[in-house]
Structure 1
Amino acid sequence: MNKSSILLIVAAVYGLTAVALGAMGQHAFGLVPGTRESLLFQHAYTYQLIHALLLIWVASQFDQGFWVRSAAYALILGVLMFCGGLYLLVFAGKTAFSWVTPVGGSLIILSWLNLVIHGFKRLKKKP
């Protein structure tokens, strides 16, 4: 199995779990609309779903070089840490693992920056 196929699977799992968690958050978890927990939860699954879609695109471009590969790895870990950290905050409160949320957010930002750099590199190569 090649790495782009693995990325596609991870993206699909992120998308699947984001949609499932979004539905469960609305119907099964007892989150009260408008509360801090409800807003954090909504933020987590929205970011997860958006970045699952980005990861699908990144998987299709994986062989384009270092910056895309770096974006893919930062995105996988960033979504896991950022969204997972928010889910943990909603359901367990502040824990010893709360530090993962801002680190994950930074990794997501880094993945977007890597794609910006990749875009500029491609622009320089085109006549």
Structure 2
Amino acid sequence: MHAAPDREARLVLGFGALLAATGVAMAALGSHAFADILVGKAALRFDSALRLHLMHAPALLALGATRGLARTRWWQAAAIAIALGCIVFCGGLYLAALDVSAVVLAVVPAGGSLMMLGWVTALVGYVRGPAS
């Protein structure tokens, strides 16, 4: 019998589920509502955002489900960095692709860096294992 996930794990699981739902919505919007405006670079940006958006949904679900396998502070830092990174990276690319604002492209690399940092942080937390 597994213990019920704690509040932090439930938040990460919930955010993973939210990413999945919004990812499906963005895929539908991209192929229907935005189909005429997503050409060239805009289509590439939207596709990159969508790919990472949808990849991080099950990844965050896995992170939330494995809460007890990593050191708490490392796990918390990883979850925050990955979630924020996904919002900044994917959100920035979506906005740029839809020509809402090209200025946001300046923060997209920071979002990608946050996601990478988050996964490296998760790696360290899992390798170190839970606190004894």
Counterpart pick for 1:104 among 107, 111, 118:
111
Deviation at 1:62, TM superposition (A): 2.5
Q: How far apart, in 1, do the equivalents of 2:127 and 2:13 lie?
A: 25
Question: Which residue of structure 2 aligns with residue 57 of structure 1?
Answer: 62
TM norm structure 1: 0.85
Kindly indicate whether the alpha-carbon contact (under 8 Å) linking 2:38 and 2:97 is maintained by their aligned counterparts in 1.
no
**Pairing 1:48–2:56 present:** no
Aligned length: 122
Question: Which residue of structure 1 aligns with residue 7 of structure 2?
Answer: 2
Deviation at 1:112, TM superposition (A): 1.1
Deviation at 1:33, TM superposition (A): 6.5
Kindly indicate whether the alpha-carbon contact (under 8 Å) linking 1:61 and 1:68 is maintained by their aligned counterparts in 2.
no
Deviating above 4 A after TM superposition, structure 1's stretches of 4 or more consecutive aligned residues are: 31-34
Question: Which residue of structure 2 aligns with residue 21 of structure 1?
Answer: 26
Taking CA–CA contacts closer than 8 Å with sequence separation of 6 or more, which of the two structures ends up with the larger relative contact order? 2
Aligned identity (percent) is 31
TM norm structure 2: 0.82
Stretches of structure 2 that go unaligned for 5 or more consecutive residues are 1-5
Stretches of structure 1 that go unaligned for 5 or more consecutive residues are none
Question: Which residue of structure 1 aligns with residue 35 of structure 2?
Answer: 30
Question: Which residue of structure 2 aligns with residue 94 of structure 1?
Answer: 102
Query: Residue 28 of structure 1 aligns to a residue in which SS?
Result: coil
Query: Residue 30 of structure 1 aligns to a residue in which SS?
Result: coil
Q: How far apart, in 2, do the equivalents of 1:50 and 1:106 lie?
A: 16
Kindly indicate whether the alpha-carbon contact (under 8 Å) linking 1:25 and 1:31 is maintained by their aligned counterparts in 2.
no
Query: Residue 38 of structure 1 aligns to a residue in which SS?
Result: helix
